[in-house]
Structure 1
Amino acid sequence: MKRNLLLFARLFVGILFIFSGLIKANDPLGFGYKLQEYFDVFHMGFLNGIATLLAILLCALEILLGALLLLGMSARRVAWGLLLLIIFFTLLTFVSAAFKVVTSCGCFGDAIPLTPWQSFTKDLVLLLLIVFIFRERNRITPVVHHPGRRAGLFAAIFTASLMFGSLTYNYGPVIDFLPYKVGANIPALMQVPPGKKPDEYRIVYQLKNSKTGQSRQITDAAYLKEGIWKDDAWKIVGEPTKELWKKGFTPPVKDLFINDASGTDYTRELLENPYYNLVVVAWNLDQANEQAIAAINALALNASEHFNIRTVLLTASSARDAATFSRNHRLFMEVFYADAVPLKSMVRANPGVLLLREGTIVNKWHYHSLPDFDILSKNYFSK
């Protein structure tokens, strides 16, 4: 009975750790963004600069521990490693859930979003199984007995895990789980489908009676219905707050607003362009790869001269910084502004390039994998 239970626990935990590590390693930059959220919550912002490196290493460690558990190799060390990791993650997800500091743990990247309480429940189950594995660690026997072969297998698994994370960091995810994937129509993703109701919000006022000193909280609907506004003794204190009243359908793309330096909305104009247009995403110009920017700028010039293709740059940097950057790099492309969150989701690169037509993402590239002008002309522009 114990042997079968131990085998089940090893299979379940090992496969889950490998799956979790691979999913996050598929998008290490996204996992790095999630780590930065945790760093900011726990006042560890000094680690933000190495968040992506830590993300790649953590993913490789997860994959390695899961694989070694399945192979029965280094059972005692693996059991200790799993136990320490799961205790840490369980405490982390509990803090996230109880204090609502991070809304999604990122345990399975963007492939399987989990709420903080779902993540905590998952970690509790894993904790129970790993405690059992830890207690029975002396019963685990390795599949491979030769020390040299075990060392080689260990090195191969860890190296392959690191290489996979490095590959996806430098060329983009193998599988794109984000809303801005190839083939997606952005305007459609911003709409609430027929028959679906959007989130409903209500305004809440803080009131205080100047005569009695009584305080009360009231919604905008009740404020009007009760006619309390007719009583001059009741005064609104502070600014009204907006809170979610009824949860409805949330569009996959809900926070994309594109404007120019003066604040004019260009979202529909840019997204509904019926012709091919190139969208260069560089959410942070200070950290953008300057050689890539120069190459993309030359590509934009050729595309305009030969095919009248419009190229725009989207950034979350300030208008002053963007103007300086544009002048220093002699940018041919127009510059527009959007929030950093959707820009980070559009393409996991800084810069990255999207090819749009009628709001549909025809293709997108990390700057390392961006085709040259001749290939783009042959495959897209000339068709």
Structure 2
Amino acid sequence: MKATSKTVNIFVELSRIIVGATFVLSGFVKAVDPMGFTYKIQDYLIELNLTEVFSLALPVALLIIVSEFLLGVLLLLGVYSKWTTRFTGLFMLFFTPLTLWIAVTNPVEDCGCFGDAFIISNWNTFYKNIVLLAGTVLLIAKWKLINTLFSLKTAPLAVLFTALFVLFFALYNIYKLPVFDFRPYRIGANIPEQMHVDPEKADIYETIFLYSKNGIQQEFTEENYPWNDSTWTYVDMKTHLVKEGEKPKIEDFSVDALYYDESSGSWNIGSDITDIILSEPSYLFLMVASSLEEMNMKHLNRFKKVSTYAIDNGWPFYLITSSGTDVVENWEKSNRSGFQFCHSDEKVLETMIRSNPGLILLKGGTVINKWDDSSVPLIGDMASVAEQTNIIAELNNTGTTGTVKLFIIALLFLIPLLLIKLGDRKMLVRKKVE
């Protein structure tokens, strides 16, 4: 019996750690980029023809983020184990069938469970949830075996702090840029390099030729098709995937110039300037406004000053948007910015920077720095921007800043919990003395 009991305890502890840590990781990486998770929810709503509830995507994203992170932390701390395990079970009962539907129908290639930090297939996501569900069922059945790190007096404080921490962390990453950027447009990344893969590692396709002879059709490959046999008649050609290889991290980056036609008095889409932007040897500013209609106008003057400064120094400055030419026309009439406009896909722009508007500094196609609208450098600070941003890009390439940020965030979360625990111990010691 003792051996059986010990085995059960081991499985309970393993389940608690695995389920809890997975929930914490999943909640944290979503909190890093809540807007990215919001866009993912909107992708599902589009597939379900529920675009009328788009406005609920962000609140739902925040609710899932807080719930997931909070449940994970409570499992690891052993706080309110009876109700924590039950709510975790409800969470898994909802998402496990959902991920099965996603795996079968494949409405979106990446479910977004771990944001852009870890991309796993929809089927692997479902298998992961099966394991988590099995562990959760064990925890629900054996919740009494879970040891808690906090007393009933301090547990509410630990719960409240955890919920507020992840909520404010997520809100910070909404109103500012995400503290960690896992996307291919992160600082230090070279965009042209992200658009290509080694041909030896790319998808391998086979070309099939269909020929006909005496009313009978036959398939041939490139090695044996009867190109010099006139008795065969060519019918069709097709290709099929033989082996799936690596995909470019950026597959859809394309920019078209917009120009004002004085003769017609309207704005039009012009030539493709993607290569011009990515090959610019000097500094180049991209003011990214995925939607001019929804753009925050509060800090527009900052962008105008940066544009003037850039032009004075011979650096290109573009406003890149997905809005239509009619919107561009009305916006420019109202604001008289004098910006050079260009057009790109909305999803591309939302991936490039999570701010509408935001500012990106490029050099030779490499992302040197990014700013949300409220952090755009003031004209007095612009003189040192080039030197500062080159250092920032180098640090981001080595991962130094990411490690430091993660360490600071961990301290900000763990130190208050440790102080709550110390207060807990002092109360216990005081009780024993009394």
Match of 2:79 among 67, 73, 81: 73
Q: Deviations over 1:33-92 (max 9, x none)?
A: 111112222333233223223222211111111111122222222112111111211111
- CA separation of 1:206 and 1:338: change in aligned 2, threshold 3 A: farther
Q: For residue 87 of structure 2, what is the amino acid of its counterpart?
A: G
Contact 1:204 1:217 in 2 (8 A): no
Task: Report the more deviating stretch, 113-122 or 249-258.
Answer: 249-258
Residues 84-99 of structure 1: matches in 2 within 5 Å?
Answer: 84-99=90-105
Residues of 2 paired with 1:50 and 1:99: CA distance? 24
Which runs of no fewer than 5 residues in structure 1 stay unpaired? none
Q: Is the 8 A contact 1:303 1:373 kept in 2?
A: no
Question: Equivalents in 1 of 2:121, 2:150: separation in Å?
Answer: 39
1:331/1:245 Cα in 2 relative to 1: closer, same or farther (>3 Å)? farther
2:255 to 255, 258, 271: 258
Using the alignment, how far apart are the partners of 1:217 and 1:53 within structure 2?
57
Amino acid at match of 2:279: E
Contact 2:302 2:378 (8 Å CA) reproduced: no
Say whether 1:164 aligns with 2:169.
Answer: yes
2:187 aligned with 1:190? no
- Asked if residue 304 in structure 1 is aligned to residue 295 in structure 2, the reply is no
Q: Distance in 2 between matches of 1:54 and 1:33?
A: 11
User: Counterpart amino acid of 1:189?
Assistant: Q
Most deviating of 310-319 and 115-124: 310-319
Q: Using the alignment, how far apart are the partners of 2:106 and 2:150 within structure 1?
A: 45
> Is the partner of 1:344 in helix, strand or coil?
helix
1:229-271 C-alpha deviation (Å, 9 max, x unpaired): x869x8x9xxx99865542332212211111243411001111
Residues 78, 257 of structure 1: CA spacing in aligned structure 2 closer, same or farther, 3 A cutoff? same
2:148 to 142, 147, 159: 142
Displacement of 1:326: 2.2
Q: How far apart, CA to CA, are the structure 2 residues paired with 1:10 and 1:318?
A: 51
Between the aligned partners of 2:360 and 2:286, the Cα distance in structure 1 is 5
| RMSD, aligned α-carbons | 3.1
Using the size of structure 2 for normalisation, the TM-score is 0.77
User: C-alpha displacement at 1:335, in angstroms?
Assistant: 0.8
Cα drift, residue 325 of structure 1: 1.7
SS of aligned partner of 1:15: helix
Check whether the contact 2:318–2:342 (CA below 8 A) recurs between aligned residues.
Answer: yes
Task: Show the counterpart of 2:275.
Answer: 268
Equivalent residue runs for 1:279-290 within 5 Å:
279-290=286-297
Separation in structure 2 between the aligned mates of residue 317 and residue 219 of structure 1, nearest angstrom: 47
State the SS of the aligned residue for 1:102. coil
Match of residue 41 from structure 1: 47
Identity of aligned residues (%): 29
Kept in 2: contact 1:196–1:249 (CA 8 A): no
Structure 1 position 181 matched with structure 2 position 186? yes
The answer to whether structure 1 residue 248 and structure 2 residue 245 are counterparts is yes
Distance 1:219 1:342, change over 3 A: farther
Asked if structure 2 preserves the Cα contact closer than 8 Å seen for 1:276 and 1:381, the reply is no
| Partners of 2:305 and 2:379 within 8 A in 1 | no
1:281–1:343: 8 Å Cα contact kept in structure 2?
yes
Partner of residue 344, structure 1? 350
Q: What is the TM-score normalised by the length of structure 1?
A: 0.87
Whether the aligned pair in 1 keeps the contact of 2:279 and 2:365 (CA below 8 Å) is: yes
The 3-state SS of whatever aligns with 2:257 is coil
- Give the C-alpha shift of residue 167 in structure 1: 0.8
Number of residue pairs matched by the alignment: 372
Indicate conservation of the 8 Å contact 1:294/1:329, yes or no.
no
Query: Structure 2 unaligned runs (5+)?
Result: 1-6, 259-268, 391-434
Question: Partners of 2:333 and 2:304 in 1: how far apart?
Answer: 12
**C-alpha deviation, 1:225, in angstroms:** 5.8
**Partner residue, 1:52:** 58
Distance in 2 (alpha carbons) for counterparts of 1:141 and 1:82: 17
How far apart, CA to CA, are the structure 1 residues paired with 2:362 and 2:98? 40
SS in 2 for 1:336: strand
**Alpha-carbon contact 1:279-1:354 (below 8 Å) kept:** yes
Alpha-carbon distance between aligned partners in 1 of 2:218 and 2:304, rounded to the nearest angstrom: 55
Separation of aligned partners in 2, 1:241 and 1:350? 43
- Separation of aligned partners in 2, 1:374 and 1:93: 51
- The whole-number CA distance in structure 1 between the counterparts of 2:58 and 2:310 is 33
- Report deviation, 1:299: 2.4
Residue 218 of structure 1 deviates from its aligned partner by 8.1
Residue 256 of structure 2: SS of its match in structure 1?
A: coil
For residues 300-353 of structure 1, the C-alpha deviation after alignment (integer angstroms, 9 at most, x for no partner) is 123323x23221011111122222222222122211111122211111111111
